[in-house]
Structure 1
Amino acid sequence: MVGLIRDTWAKSEPFIPEISQFFYGMLFTLAPATRDFFPINMEVQRGRLVRALVHIVQMVDRPDDLVPFLTQLGRDHRKFGVIPRHYEAVGTALLASLKNHLGPDWTPEVERAWAEAFTIVARAMQEAAAADVNPASWSATVLEHRRLTWDLALVRVQPEFAVPYQPGQYMSVEVPQRPRLWRYLSPANAPREDGGIEFHVRAVDGGWVSRAIVSHTQPGDVWRLGPPLGRLAVDRADDRGVLMIAGGTGVAPLRAILDDLAQWGENPKVQLFYGGPSREDLYDLDELRALAATNPWLTVTPVIEHGDEAPGCVQGTLAEAVTQQGSWPGHRILVAGSPAMIRATVSRMLVAGSALDQIAYDPFTID
């Protein structure tokens, strides 16, 4: 089954835009109510479908990774009001889309493989959704919106009820300026007694939501937060050292972990490489250096790609800076940043000799 799925997916990739358009057209015909789950402009959503499918196909032979991902996906979809017949419509639309574009390559064997795979995916998601006793989403009021740079904002929100997230996790966010268009954000702080959450948001090119947050969010706005997702974490009982690699606002989930660790007297040794194109992009460096100054278990290494050398900064990409020190045996490795940064860094580390099971990262998307 795995071979057939990967082979046909590879043949489908040149037709991804057409397959996505056909899929949503078929889905909205089979289940018209699902149209209300999505934004008016479907451009971003089509890309998200493709990224999710790619991620699932990549993990189809790694159930230990796939099942947790599907579990979180199922919990996250509760916020849309998804019910079993919607899954049936999605499966029918997906298979019809692939069949329409694969032509003679869509054999009965291929159809059975995809049908079996989708059944496994849908079952895992539905079981996770049914087992979740938490709210499907939380309302949160914006308390503070502060521009850190022209394209970067710090936003503090106060949920009506505490969101049960763990340091390092992320959650989907819907803002009033972009209804039905969800974006993943990582809390930059460990859970607090008052339930407050801090987000760091950079406006990215073509980012409908991120640009709206940076430019138009105001105190008093009410956001919707989806359930916490992701598996970035540090187990304090594990004696291994921890290597953290953060690009840009990818520092937020790692900062939340550090915020949590700082509450304890003893921790594993943590080395954080924090990088960006220039010194100005390392907006949180002063705070991180202050944290390291009072916590001897933490070392912070800033990395800049361009511009004049800055005092205390390593020149180059994060991938280069980290692998110059070897393959980091005996370390847990956490990577957070843009999809491109994660791909480049993880690939370089694998070539350098790091083991895949050392490395943790989430399938984060930015828009």
Structure 2
Amino acid sequence: MDSTTISLVRTTFKDVAAVEDGPARLTRDFYATLFAQSPAAREFFPAAMDVQRDRLVQAIAYVVDKLDEPERILPFLAQLGRDHRKYGIEEAHYIAVGNALITALRQFAGNEMWTEEVDNAWREGIALIASTMIDAANNEAGPRTWTGTVVEHKQVLRDVAVVRLQLDQPMAYGAGQYMSVSVPGRPRMWRYLSPAIPSNSEGQIEFHVRRVSGGWVSPAMVGQTHLGDTWVMGSPLGALGVDRTQDRDMLMIGSGTGIAPLRAQLMEMAMRGANPRVHLFVGGVYPCDLYDIETLWQLSQTNPWLTVVPVSEEVANPWWHLDPIPEPPSGMHQRLIGKLGEVVADFGTWADRDVQIVGSNAMIQTTKFRLLAGGTPAENIRHDPLN
């Protein structure tokens, strides 16, 4: 796509995003059009569409923003194509989705804004997206989904559970990636989760799950999972990982269950002979939110390249959490008090580091803003668009 075409696509989408309730209206119109024109497509989606609508806007915004970075957007689209095989989607479905999106955009923009040039630009963009996803799906020889049996379920906090599963066959994923997961009782509902351990030949996998208030899937994962339950997983997604083409040390920042993909990378690095230096900041509101800190301390004790800095906003735990606050072993960093992004930024610019941030979207954006303000180059900061 040339710069003019990309500019037309971006301008149109920004105009939609700028209108109050614009993204929500766009997604409502899109799904209404899609289901009216292709009724069979409804079976691919859950009964409750709220989360699905949010994900659509998030994905479109990311793709539109990265259209001029083919080295980043094409691998992302290829991963989505491989993941979408779990639905049984065929080429005709991509065409129907593209037509429905153009119809919804044209209805939103109106005839004055939706010119022939804009229409052509969007059709070119959607053709690029669809062809990349279709080619990746058609060229993938692996399974459409993996099935895992729950072998351990441990509730480490009132709203956090560690779930270990045995897969029906090993899954080759990169430490730091994530995948869509479906559980019994929540048909056609998928939640993105990051494995907390590296891929292994035994087919073992571990997830850390936080219950989202008002969520459809995570409460079932945390509070209603039983040994022997069967979970289904789609293909791996995401690009986090140790970039060994760069001669830079690393800064990792994770809050809550966002520690999982960072933990998996550290465990994989611990199996190597040479690694960059890593500063890991792990944060939460209360000390108890650092539920896996002792594992991270153990990694740090046996790997001198790793420094772990625990951070909590509150000094003490809430009244309902009765377990004692663990003390760091000798030589480990004491827990700091404050907002995670502020604490990290107070250490310096981190301008020479490869930076990864994992957590809630609000935490990621706040921390990224503080790092940029402190002098960290934007191109050094990485976080996944959908996780």
Q: How far apart are 1:26 and its partner, in Å? A: 1.2
> Does residue 177 in structure 1 map to residue 199 in structure 2?
no
Q: Which residue of 1 aligns with 2:200?
A: 192
Q: Which amino acid aligns with 1:42?
A: M
- 1:246-281 deviations in Å (ceiling 9; x for gaps): 111110001001111112233221110001111111
TM-score by length of 1: 0.95
Within 2, Cα distance between the matches of 1:135 and 1:308?
A: 47
> Does residue 328 in structure 1 map to residue 350 in structure 2?
yes
Q: Which residue of 1 aligns with 2:362?
A: 340
> Does residue 99 in structure 1 map to residue 103 in structure 2?
no
> Does residue 124 in structure 1 map to residue 128 in structure 2?
no
Give 1:6's match in structure 2, choosing from 3, 10, 14. Answer: 10
Q: How far apart are 1:120 and its partner, in Å? A: 0.9
Q: How far apart are 1:47 and its partner, in Å? A: 1.1
- 1:299-323 deviations in Å (ceiling 9; x for gaps): 0001112345987112222211121
Q: How far apart are 1:237 and its partner, in Å? A: 6.7
Q: Which residue of 2 aligns with 1:158?
A: 166
Q: What is the percentage of aligned positions where both structures have the same residue? A: 47
8 A Cα contact 1:339 1:363, kept in partner: no
- 1:77-119 deviations in Å (ceiling 9; x for gaps): 1111111111110111001001111112111111111111111
Within 2, Cα distance between the matches of 1:9 and 1:266?
A: 45
Q: Which residue of 2 aligns with 1:41?
A: 48
Q: Which residue of 2 aligns with 1:57?
A: 64
Q: How far apart are 1:239 and its partner, in Å? A: 3.8
- 1:146-195 deviations in Å (ceiling 9; x for gaps): 11011000100111000111111111101012110001100001123311
- 1:219-242 deviations in Å (ceiling 9; x for gaps): 111111101111111145754211
> Does residue 355 in structure 1 map to residue 363 in structure 2?
no
Q: How many residues align?
A: 365
> Does residue 147 in structure 1 map to residue 151 in structure 2?
no
Q: How far apart are 1:289 and its partner, in Å? A: 0.9
Within 1, Cα distance between the matches of 2:174 and 2:239?
A: 9
C-alpha RMSD of the superposition: 1.6
Within 2, Cα distance between the matches of 1:115 and 1:8?
A: 13
Give 1:241's match in structure 2, choosing from 249, 258, 276. Answer: 249
Gaps of at least 5 residues in structure 1 are none
Q: Which amino acid aligns with 2:353?
A: H
Q: How far apart are 1:340 and its partner, in Å? A: 1.5
User: Is the deviation greater in 4-13 or in 33-42?
Assistant: 4-13
Q: Which amino acid aligns with 2:87?
A: F
Within 1, Cα distance between the matches of 2:25 and 2:379?
A: 36
Within 2, Cα distance between the matches of 1:122 and 1:64?
A: 17
> Does residue 285 in structure 1 map to residue 293 in structure 2?
yes
Give 2:215's match in structure 1, choosing from 207, 212, 215. Answer: 207
Change in Cα spacing, 1:235 to 1:101, as seen in structure 2 (3 Å) is closer
- 1:307-365 deviations in Å (ceiling 9; x for gaps): 45987112222211121122213221111111221111122212221112212211134
Q: Which amino acid aligns with 2:343?
A: A
8 A Cα contact 1:238 1:268, kept in partner: no
TM-score by length of 2: 0.91
Gaps of at least 5 residues in structure 2 are 318-324, 328-333
Q: Which residue of 2 aligns with 1:253?
A: 261
